[in-house]
Amino acid sequence: MGKNDTFEDQLAHMRPRLHRYCARMAGSVIDGEDLVQEVLTRAVTARSAGKRIDNLEGWLLRVAHNASIDLLRQRARANLVPLDEEEMQSSIDVMPHPEAAAISFGRFLELPPLQRSSVVLKDVLGHSIEEIAEIADCSPIAAKSALQRGRTRLKEIALRDEADALLPLLAGNERRRLQAYVDAFRTGEFDMIRRMLSDDVSVDLINRLQLKGRAEVGSYFTRYAEAKQWRYALGAVAGQPAMLVYDSDHPSHRPAHFVVIDYSADTIIGIRDFLYAAYAMEGADWVLLE
């Protein structure tokens, strides 16, 4: 980051790194993006209140860590499963572990939270043990212990056959309406989609802009109608039904980005589009359903 960058520029620069952390902590690219937005909102609020932040990356990651732990605690309460506590060790070997950056986000859920945090901060984001301890609010010894055991566990996971991406439980009507949405994009029948929108529909074009209401959202579909490089498919990301979007200009078996649609009955109430958040596909658990 340059010395003359604005605060907003610095936050934009940090966004992919925050997502790499949050998505692995949450085990989902979608939940990870929710956490990122929460962290950035807190940062803007703190800045507006006059808070001085000397080490922005460290501060953001600390907020991201606490937000991730809050999310995991909510899940644990919902499932009546306590979070695992880490034990401490006094002598640890901290050799690099290359699998961490490549393994899918969902696999990180197999690690207890402190192991997960330590591996991501060290092997994905390149932080020191001392920085990990400060971000995760633990001792350096506990951070080293968690890192060693997390690396060992990830190595076992990497050697194991990778399971397919999580499959969503799609009822017949859910599959029908998502398939209709995808088909409309394929054929350019965007007026059909517009008729399905609620009056207060919202579009979150992640990392770019937000639109609210039928009038504003209309321009969103116009831009897709003008873009000819995209191909569309029915799929799932992180176990959630989604429209997968492929880039014909850069052929790949992996989607370039994805779109999640929220419904109330057969009416579209929300659209989350990751077009400008390509980082979200890094390590994402996804599957083609066609």
Give me the pLDDT at residue 100, please: 63
Q: In angstroms, rounded to a whole number, what is the distance separating the alpha carbons of residues 34 and 230? A: 25
DSSP characters over 58-125: HHHHHHHHHHHHHHHHHHHHHHT-PPPPPP--S-------THHHHS-GGGGGGS-HHHHHHHIIIIIT
CB 29 within 8 A of CB 43: no
Residues sharing a CB contact under 8 Å with residue 151, sequence separation 6 or more, in sequence order: 95, 97, 100, 119, 123
Q: What is the pLDDT of residue 85?
A: 46
In one-letter notation, the amino acid at residue 27 is: G
Mean pLDDT of 246-272: 92
Mean local confidence (pLDDT), 34-50 = 93
Return the higher-pLDDT residue of 81 and 17: 17
Distance of CA 6 to the CA centre of its chain: 25
How many angstroms separate the CA atoms of 123 and 133, rounded?
15
Cα separation, 18 vs 33, whole angstroms: 9
Q: Which fold has domain 172-288?
A: Nuclear Transport Factor 2; Chain: A, (3.10.450)
Q: Does residue 88 register a pLDDT over 70?
A: no
Specify the range with the lowest mean pLDDT, choosing from 43-47, 90-94, 139-143, 243-247.
90-94
User: pLDDT-based confidence at 259, cuts 50/70/90?
Assistant: very high
Q: How long, in residues, is the chain?
A: 290
- At 89, is the pLDDT very low, low, confident or very high (cuts 50, 70, 90)? very low
User: What is the reported pLDDT for 284?
Assistant: 84
CB 254 within 8 A of CB 281: yes
Predicted structure pTM score: 0.81
The pLDDT of 14-21, averaged and rounded, is 94
Q: Which region among 5-14, 49-58, 125-134, 167-176 has the lowest average model confidence (pLDDT)?
A: 167-176
DSSP result, 163-211: PPPPPP---HHHHHHHHHHHHHHHHT-HHHHHHTEEEEEEEEETTTEEE
Residue 28 pLDDT > 80: yes
Query: Is residue 283 very low, low, confident or very high in pLDDT (cuts 50, 70, 90)?
Result: confident
Looking at the chain, the domain(s) classified CATH 1.20.140.160 span: 7-159
Residues forming CATH 3.10.450.50 domain(s) in the chain: 172-288
Domain 7-159 sits in CATH at: 1.20.140.160
Q: What is the pLDDT of residues 144-200, one digit of tens each?
A: 999 999 999 888 877 765 554 556 666 778 889 999 999 999 999 999 999 999 999
In this model, does residue 99 exceed pLDDT 80?
A: no
Q: How confident is the model at residue 201 (pLDDT cuts 50, 70, 90)?
A: very high
pLDDT mean over 2-10: 78
Mean pLDDT computed over every residue of the chain:
85
